[in-house]
Amino acid sequence: MPVALNHTIVAAHNKLASARFLADILGLEVSPEYGPFVPVEIPNGVTLDYIDSPDPITPQHYAFLVTEGEFDEIFARVKAAGLTYWADPFHRRTMEINTNDGGRGTYFDDPNGHNLEIITRPYGSGG
């Protein structure tokens, strides 16, 4: 079996609300609570396990490779939610998308300040 990422833990101030935010934006489901975690399974089998943290949260970056059609659907939900989005990871190009490597991409924050990204082409894939 090749090495594959199975899950990662995502710190949140409200694990259920944060899991619902991600699932709603990406068009996924929140799985039943498992121990201290609220999981959201990504279609490639990786699970983001949300856990409550009373401590300050260090923002992390989570990038999701999506199809062109999924990008349109997710981006429409980002805009409908009134979220600020950026074309770059440094949040300098506000309310823009990028066309890196011949695809499309954008960044937006979750309720805990985690930097979420949707892209239609992996970085370095040309275009």
**Confidence band (pLDDT; 50, 70, 90) for 127?**
low
- Provide the pLDDT for residue 126: 78
Q: Report how far residue 97's alpha carbon sits from residue 88's, in angstroms, rounded to the nearest whole number.
A: 8
- Provide the pLDDT for residue 76: 98
- Provide the pLDDT for residue 107: 98
Position of tokens 């370095």?
124
Please compute the mean of the pLDDT values over residues 79-94 and round it to a whole number: 97
Q: Which residues of 91-123 are buried (b: 16+ CB within 10 A; e: fewer)?
A: eeeeeebbebbebbbbbbebebebbbbbbbbee
**Confidence band (pLDDT; 50, 70, 90) for 38?**
very high
- Provide the pLDDT for residue 1: 81
Q: What percent of the chain has pLDDT over 90?
A: 95
Q: What is the mean pLDDT of the chain?
A: 97
Asked whether the predicted pLDDT for residue 67 surpasses 90, the reply is: yes
**Confidence band (pLDDT; 50, 70, 90) for 121?**
very high
